[in-house]
Amino acid sequence: MPQPNDLSRSLAALDQDSTLVAVIEISQSSWLVGGIAPGVNRQPLKKLAADETALLQLLSRWRGEATKAGRTISRIAVAYEAGRDGFWLARWLRGRGIEAHVIHPTSVAVSREHRRAKTDRLDTELLKRAFLGWLRGEQRHCSMAMIPTLEEEDAKRPNRERENLVSERTRLVNRMKSALARLGIRGFKPHLRKASERLDTLRTAEGMALPPNTLAELRRDMARLRFVMDQIREIEAARLARLEQHPEQANHAMVRLLARVVGVGIETADMLVHEILSRHLRDRKAVARYAGLTGSPDESGARRREKGLSRAGNARVRRGMIQLAWRFLMFQKDSALAQWYRRQTTDGRGATRKTMIVALARKLLVALWQLVTTGEVPEGVVLRRAA
């Protein structure tokens, strides 16, 4: 029985005599729109500037052509591939009464030829066939992405911005350490509060002061580092303020609940809630699949092998859960999940530990999903005592 949140096929019956179907191949400077208009023998194809108003006028024109051919259009279905433009166009079209969908690019079947022709026109035809199969209700013909609201998209920005800033902080620290290592200086920590004051006291391996150009470069890098660290602290303070000011919001309540799990901090809880746990996933398999923590078996005839993680889901969730699995073993040594991991890795082989840590991350993610959806503490998870 189809689930109400199943995006792998359309749940509405397709009446081809009253449905105008259109797909958009979106690029940075132009859009190529292909359509199927009932009663019109040709399949129209039109290249437009990247302009949503022109798109709306084009759909109205095709609708008029179908009306002249004796068809009554009661449904306009539009789809395009997820990409750089995100979901704003789908929200804009839905706000004007047009059914809009965003196709997962990896779910569209393509030719397996080594060198296949690829043009915008051919891609539009490919999207059209995939979208028609989805509208007919054919299972696994292609998959649609859930279209978030503007508020849901905006809620992800602080965590993703902080992730980028942390990467920038690491890059700056590593660059300064490398510059000092070329002069034979080791053990200097650029991220400390008084690091800039110590630059004048540093001496090279020959006992000389830092060269003037290197010293100037390090001072500029330290200024950038201080600015990045201030921005990280600003984001963290703003997040804590939001949690305290609006504790009744559903996402904030989930963050507070996850932060009670021993080994889970506010940062990890915030990332998990806004990236995966606030989504309406239908079952535990969908949770693991969205995180890319499922396997990718390769079976053909007598051949049976596992190619590792599918890595088809959210990379942020996958990285965060593997890191959390290692922390979980440290902070919840006596929990049921930690004991299960130790039983599975008694042989001591590195490959076994690597495989089982992924399995532990998958089990832990499902347990956290059950915690926020049902409110009941799953077996193997320990919560901090309420203050």
pLDDT digits (tens, 9 = 90+) for 81-95: 998 999 999 999 999
pLDDT at 11: 83
pLDDT at 74: 94
Above pLDDT 90, what percent of the chain?
A: 65
> Does pLDDT of 378 surpass 60?
yes
Confidence of residue 5 (pLDDT cuts 50, 70, 90): low
The four Cα atoms 99, 104, 156, 26 give a dihedral, to 10 degrees, of -70
pLDDT at 109: 86
> Does pLDDT of 349 surpass 90?
no
> Does pLDDT of 311 surpass 80?
no
Confidence of residue 12 (pLDDT cuts 50, 70, 90): confident
Average pLDDT over residues 168-182: 95
In the DSSP assignment, the letter for residue 85 is T
Confidence of residue 354 (pLDDT cuts 50, 70, 90): confident
pLDDT at 3: 55
pLDDT at 1: 40
* Least confident stretch, 86-95, 230-239, 245-254, 292-301: 292-301
* Residue of higher predicted confidence among 288 and 304: 288
For Cα atoms 290, 293, 297, give the angle at the middle one, nearest 5 degrees: 110
pLDDT at 307: 76
In the DSSP assignment, the letter for residue 298 is E
* Side chain identity at residue 255, one-letter code: V
* Least confident stretch, 6-20, 253-267, 319-333: 6-20
pLDDT at 329: 92
Average pLDDT over residues 216-243: 95
pLDDT at 296: 82
Q: Which of 119, 143, 122 is nearest to 131 (CA)?
A: 143
Give the C-alpha separation, 362 to 101, whole Å: 29
pLDDT at 4: 54
Share the mean pLDDT of the chain: 90
Give the DSSP H or E segment for 208: none
pLDDT at 306: 77
pLDDT per residue as tens digits for the range 129-166: 999 999 999 887 888 999 999 999 999 999 999 999 99
Give the C-alpha separation, 360 to 54, whole Å: 51
